Amino acid sequence: MTLVKTNNRFAFPSLIDEFLKPDWMGGMERFNVNVPAVNIKETDTTFVVELAAPGKKKEDFNIELDENVLTISSEASTENEEKDKEGKYTRKEFSYSSFKRSFTLPEIVNEYDINATYENGVLHIALPKREEALPKPKRMIEIG
Considering the chain, what is the average pLDDT of its residues? 78
pLDDT the model gives residue 42? 92
> Is residue 2 over pLDDT 60?
no
Q: In what order do the strands lie in the sheet with 115-119?
A: 38-42, 46-52, 122-128, 115-119
Residue 128 confidence (pLDDT)? 95
For 35-133, CATH number? 2.60.40.790
For the chain, percent of residues with pLDDT exceeding 90:
42
82 with 90: CB under 8 angstroms?
yes
Q: Give the start-to-end residue ranges of the domains of the chain.
A: 35-133
Whole-model pTM: value is 0.64
| 47 pLDDT more than 80 | yes
Rounded Cα gap, residues 9 and 32, in angstroms: 25
From 107, 102, 99, select the one nearest 130 (Cα to Cα): 107
Beta-carbon count within 10 A of 13 CB: 10
Q: Give residue-wise pLDDT tens across range 112-140.
A: 999 999 999 999 999 999 988 778 888 88
